[in-house]
Structure 1
Amino acid sequence: MKSRFDYDMTMDTIMRRWPGSIRVILGHGLLCVGCPIASFHTVMDAAREHSLDEDMLVDDLTKAMK
Structure 2
Amino acid sequence: MQATLIPPITPDTILDEMMAAYKATIPLFIHRKMLCIGCPVARLHDVREACHEHGIPLQEFLDELNAAATGP
Question: What is the TM-score of this pair, normalised by structure 2?
Answer: 0.82
Percent of residue pairs identical: 27
Q: Is 2:39 the counterpart of 1:35?
A: yes
Q: Deviations over 1:18-60 (max 9, x none)?
A: 0000001111111111101101111100000111101111011
How well do the aligned residues superpose, as a CA RMSD in angstroms? 1.2
- Structure 2, unmatched stretches of 5+, are none
1:46 to 47, 50, 61: 50
Contact 2:11 2:62 in 1 (8 A): no
Q: Secondary structure at the match of 1:3?
A: coil
Pairs aligned (count):
66
Q: Detail structure 1 runs of 4+ shifted over 6 Å in the superposition.
A: none
1:43 alignment partner AA: V
Quick one: distance in 2 between partners of 1:15 and 1:38?
A: 9
1:3 to 6, 11, 14: 6
Question: What is the TM-score of this pair, normalised by structure 1?
Answer: 0.89
- Structure 1, unmatched stretches of 5+, are none
